[in-house]
Amino acid sequence: MYGIAPNTTYSYSEGLAFTGFTLVLCWLRLFLDIWYPSYSRPVFKLMMASNQNGVNLSQPLVPIFQGINYGVWSTKMKTLFLSQDLWDLVENGYSEEEVAAETLKDIRKRDAKALFFIQQAVDESIFPRIEAVTRSKEAWDTLRMAYQGLQR
């Protein structure tokens, strides 16, 4: 009697319409936030970053590293950085003395973007390791030194 039909559209008096699937996702998010707060973060990112077909290429999904399977996570992150033309910066870094002044602003912006991806890609329990880091290469190397050895 009170079930949610998957292909039914529900509407509110304000004119908002939701499908049964959207309502299920909202309730799932609420449930996960209350009972499993650390688990809901990556699940919700996955739910919100997809369209009706389940794919949204304009906003890349960032894999969340939780301290295990560093090799898998780093491979996924490397692919993400390659797709955004950031891998060379993450792997090799940059020296402000060797860069022309007019390109320095662009390099700093790209490095900040890469650092943002890394910061978003680590669980809150791991974030303190890279919290004070200001460059993507330093954050990447810190995580590699801390976790790569554990996988072998």
Q: Return the closest-CA partner of residue 133 out of 147, 112, 148, 150.
A: 112
Residues pairing with 17 in the sheet: 11
Listed by start position, the domains of the chain span 70-151
Residue with tokens 């290469």: 137
Neighbours of 87 (CB within 10 A): 18
Neighbours of 5 (CB within 10 A): 10
Confidence band of 102 (pLDDT split at 50, 70, 90): confident
**Total-model pTM:** 0.61
Q: What are phi and psi of 84, to 5 degrees?
A: -100, 5
Q: What is the pLDDT of residue 13?
A: 47
Q: What is the pLDDT of residue 34?
A: 66
Residues pairing with 9 in the sheet: 19
Q: What is the pLDDT of residue 46?
A: 46
| Residue that wins the pLDDT comparison between 92 and 56 | 92
125 has a pLDDT exceeding 70:
yes
Using CA atoms, how far apart are residues 66 and 81, in angstroms rounded to an integer?
19
Per-residue pLDDT tens for 43-56?
444 444 444 545 44
Using CA atoms, how far apart are residues 78 and 20, in angstroms rounded to an integer?
37
